[in-house]
Amino acid sequence: MDLDLEECTTKTPAGIRCQVKVAALTPTQNAVGLDEVNDKVARYSAKTKADLKDYLIVHPVPIVIGNGGKFYLTDHHHLTNALWKTAEGRNKAGIDTKNARVAVTVLHNLASLKGYHFWKAMHEARLVYLYDHYGAGPIRPKDLLPHVKDLLNDPYRGLAWAVRTRYGYHKDPHPFAEFLWADFFRIRIIIDNWILKDKIRGSEVLISNLPEDQRKDLIDSAMQWAKSPEARGMPGYIGPN
């Protein structure tokens, strides 16, 4: 789907808004919360072509061009992963994986930097999240997944999204804020007791698939933790009131 924007190239300077095929984007994190992704897929799939185009134009994703000219996605991994999944299935806009595009804003053009020098610049700018979908790391840059379609589920990132959408904390511009919340919950809450029974891996849990009473108890518990004194200092902390 053409967004009527200039196509990005390896020479596009910083500050320019252009368009890129989703297939050309390289992630800078390995995890998403699939609960949030699935919510977006449902909404994107119901949009007409004109509505989806308007949505994408006003929700540009930030990229860095570097490491020999690759397009590195530095935020909105949920949006791009959801758009790819939308394109894989039936959708009202008629997009497919060959023509799915997003509007992007070029933060930096570091095409001349490669390898260690590129990743050092990315790390210092807080533009890469070198932790896996279990919160473990740091991982090596070469262990980052090559395509947005490959992103793995971190259910605690999904829990962080569920709490934020219920106003447990404010959306905050702090780098990786919702991953910080995911790690805050990770050491305090077991999302599904089937994990303790060795019946399921944590990455296989979808909060939306839990029985309603279990899902409610889980989110209520997370909301209490988010508003507790222990969360003071977390990005977007609201407090008990």
pLDDT tens-digit profile of 24-69?
Answer: 999 999 999 999 999 999 999 999 999 999 999 999 999 999 998 9
17-153 has CATH 3.40.50.10800 classification:
no
Query: Is pLDDT at 241 greater than 80 in this prediction?
Result: no
Residue 192's pLDDT is 78
Residue 89 gets the label, from left (phi > 0), alpha (psi -120 to 50) or beta, of beta
The CATH 1.10.8.10 portion of the chain extends over: 155-231
Q: Supply 59's token pair.
A: 């929700």
pLDDT of residue 193: 76
Q: 149-152 long-range contacts, Cβ below 8 Å, gap at least 24? A: 149/81, 149/84, 149/85, 150/27, 151/27, 151/29, 151/30, 151/31, 151/32, 151/77, 151/81, 152/30, 152/31, 152/32, 152/203
Element (H, E) at 185: helix 177-186
Q: What is the pLDDT of residue 163?
A: 98
Report which of 235, 80, 240, 102 is spatially closest to residue 173, judged by C-alpha positions: 235
CATH T-level assignment (fold) for domain 155-231: Helicase, Ruva Protein; domain 3 (1.10.8)
Is residue 22 within 8 Å of residue 35, measured between CB atoms?
Answer: no
Residue with the larger pLDDT of the pair 212 and 201: 212
Q: What is the pLDDT of residue 90?
A: 97
Residue extent(s) of CATH 3.90.1530.10 domains in the chain = 17-153
| Predicted structure pTM score | 0.95
Query: Is it the case that residue 173 has pLDDT exceeding 80?
Result: yes
Let me know if 29 is exposed, middle or buried by CB neighbors in 10 A (0-12, 13-18, 19+).
buried
- Segment 79-87 mean pLDDT: 98
Banded pLDDT at 148 (limits 50, 70, 90):
very high
What percent of the chain shows pLDDT beyond 90?
Answer: 92
